[in-house]
Amino acid sequence: MKAGVVVFPGSNCDHDCYHILKHVLDVDTAFLWHKDTDLSGIDLVVLPGGFSYGDYLRSGAIAKLSPIIESVAEFADKGGHVLGICNGFQVLTETGLLPGVLMRNRSLKFISRYVNLRVDNADTPYTTRYVDGEIVSIPIAHMDGNYYADEATLNELEANNRIVFRYCDDNGEASAEGNPNGSLNNIAGIMNKGGNVLGMMPHPERCAEDFMETNHGYYLFESIKKTLSGVL
């Protein structure tokens, strides 16, 4: 298995993702410059967090026009695995690889803290090491994480079990209390129809080693590693 971490001007979690994949999970990992278009040999593309192109127009809006994104879209269409974290999630919605949009947080504040997430679909390539309904603690750090989609899209996501992570309270309820940013249906992470593209606002790479406050993000990377290595 080989992973590629895309580097846009303004990405700032690229090295964290690279470190976790390469040094903690022992996955063959390379950086991919936003002007690269060759994804041959890559099994997993990671769109990391940060502020691509400064997010000056809208989060992810300029990144969707970068040369590598066309290749990533083709890669995803052919079933290639793509993980978008935070700004990467915003890029995926702007690109149309995932539905909906990430709007400004309800509070208009940048929020950086641990949140509770409920794993609502443990049957994805990224979540096999979790169990359905499990509550994990993973940090968020974003200004635009307020997921919005029209009712038909939300219904489709719900009906097809495409909501992978939801913000929840300590009891695992997807309540308003557990919702940090106003996301509709407490959505923190969703996947595409094909089940190969996952976008999520929380940062699993920031809690994937034992010395960190939690290591709950480790299992997401381990899940995708096992899936792509055929060790399930």
Partner 1 sequence: MKVKVYVKLKSGVLDPQGQTILGSVRRLGHDFVKDVRVGKFFEIEVDETENLEEKIAEISDKVLSNPIIEEFSIETDGDR
Please identify every residue annotated as catalytic: 86, 203, 205
* Residue (of 143, 51, 61) closest to 106 by Cα position: 143
Number of residues forming the site for partner 1 (CB under 8 A): 17
d(CA 76, CA 62): 19
Binding mask 102-141 for partner 1 (x = CB under 8 A): -xxxxxx---------------------------------
Which is nearest to 163 in space by CA: 153, 176, 175? 153
Per rule CB under 8 A, is residue 100 in the interface with partner 1? yes
* The two three-digit tokens of residue 199, written as one number: 């976008």
Q: Mask 46-65, x = binds partner 1 (CB under 8 A)?
A: -----------xx--x---x
Question: Which CB, 22 or 106, lies closer to partner 1?
Answer: 106
Q: Provide the pairing of β-strand 146-148 with 101-103.
A: antiparallel
CB 103 within 8 A of CB 200: no
- The residue (of 4 and 84) whose beta carbon lies closer to partner 1 is 84
Among 149, 163, 174, 188, binds partner 1 (CB under 8 A): 149
List, in order, residues 6 or more apart from 227 with CB less than 8 Å away: 81, 125, 126, 128
Q: Which of 113, 118, 139, 124 is nearest to 217 (CA)?
A: 139
> Could you say whether residue 176 binds partner 1 (CB under 8 A)?
no
Interface residue with partner 1, options 38, 74, 150, 170 (CB under 8 A): 150
Residue 228's H or E segment, with its range, is helix 218-229
202 belongs to the binding site for partner 1 (CB under 8 A): no
Give the nearest distance from C-beta 8 to partner 1 in angstroms: 16
Binding mask of the shown chain, residues 67 to 96, with x at each position contacting partner 1 by CB under 8 A: ---------------------------x--
In sequence order, what are the residues at sequence separation of 6 or more whose Cβ sits closer than 8 angstroms to the Cβ of residue 41?
2
- For partner 1, the binding residues (CB under 8 A) are 57-58, 61, 65, 94, 100-101, 103-108, 148-150, 182
